[in-house]
A and B are shown apart, each in its own frame.
Chain A
Amino acid sequence: MKEIVIQVDELTKEFGHFVAVDKITFEVYKSEIFGFLGANGAGKTTAMRMLCGLSVPSSGNATVAGFDVYRQTEQIKKSIGYMSQKFSLYEDLTVAENIHLFGGIYGLTNRQMKEGRDRLVERLGLHNEMKKRVGALPMGWKQKLAFSLAILHRPRVVFLDEPTGGVDPITRRQFWDLIYEATEEGITVFVTTHYMDEAEYCDRISMMVDGKIEALDSPANLKRRFSASSMDEVFFQLARGAKRN
Chain B
Amino acid sequence: MRKKLKIKSAIAANRNTQFLAFVRKEFRHMFRDRKTLLILFGLPVVQILLFGFALTNEIKDSRIVICDYAKDEASRRIIERFAANNHFVVEESLKSHLQIEDAFQEGRIKLAVIFPANFLSDLHHLHQAQVQLIADASDPNTANILKGYATNILMDYQKELSMDSPLPYQIGSEMRMLYNPQLKGAVNFVPGVMSLILMLICVMMTSVSIVREKEYGTMEVLLVSPVNPLLLILSKAVPYLFLSLVNLTVIVVLSVTLLEVPVNGSLILLFLESTLFIITALSLGLLISNLVKTQQAAILFSLIGLMVPTILFTGFMFPIENMPVVLQWFANVIPSRWYYVIIKSVMIKGAGIQAVWKETVVLLLMTGFLLFISFRNFKTRLEA
Contact = CB atoms under 8 A, between A and B. Distances in A.
A107 B17 contact: yes
B22 A90 contact: no
B21 interface: yes
A64 B160 CA distance: 92
Given A88-B216, A107-B14, A93 B28 contact: yes
A78 interface: yes
Contact of A84 (B24, B28, B220, B383): B220
A22 to B, nearest CB: 18
B28 to A, nearest CB: 6
A97 B28 contact: yes
A13 B382 CA distance: 15
A86 B217 contact: yes
A113 to B, nearest CB: 10
B223 A92 contact: no
Contact of A104 (B22, B217, B221, B224): B22
Contacts of B216: 86-88, 90-91
A92 B384 contact: no
B32 interface: yes
Contact of B384 (A55, A97, A133): A55
Nearest to B215: A86
Chain B interface category by residue count: 20 to 34
Given A93-B25, A93-B28, A107-B17, A77 B222 contact: no
Given A80-B224, A88-B218, A105 B383 contact: no
A105 B227 contact: yes
A105 B218 contact: no
A46 B32 CA distance: 36
Contacts of B227: 105
Nearest to B19: A104
Nearest to B31: A92
Interface string A76-116: 01101011111111111100010011011111000000000
Contacts of B159: none
Nearest to A53: B224
B114 to A, nearest CB: 66
Contacts of A238: none
Given A54-B382, A55-B383, A56-B383, A105 B224 contact: no
A52 interface: yes
Contacts of B225: 77, 82, 105-106
A133 B220 CA distance: 21
Contacts of B46: none
* Max chain A Cβ within 10 angstroms of own Cβ: one of B14, B18, B224: B224
Contacts of B28: 92-93, 97
B226 interface: yes
Given A92-B28, A104-B22, A52 B226 contact: no
A74 interface: yes
Contact of A82 (B14, B22, B224): B224
B245 to A, nearest CB: 24
Given A54-B224, A84-B221, A97-B28, A104 B383 contact: no
A87 B216 CA distance: 7
A82 B219 CA distance: 12
Contacts of B73: none
A74 B224 CA distance: 10
A105 B29 contact: no
Given A86-B216, A88-B216, A107 B18 contact: yes
B21 A100 contact: yes
B33 interface: yes
Interface in B350-384: 382-384
Nearest to A97: B28
A97 B25 contact: yes
Contacts of A104: 17-18, 20-22
A90 B218 contact: yes
Nearest to A104: B21
Interface of A: 52-56, 74, 77-78, 80, 82-93, 97, 100-101, 103-107, 133, 159
Interface of B: 14, 17-18, 20-22, 24-25, 28-29, 32-33, 216-218, 220-227, 382-384
10 contacts: A54-B382, A86-B216, A87-B216, A88-B221, A92-B29, A93-B32, A97-B25, A104-B20, A105-B227, A133-B32
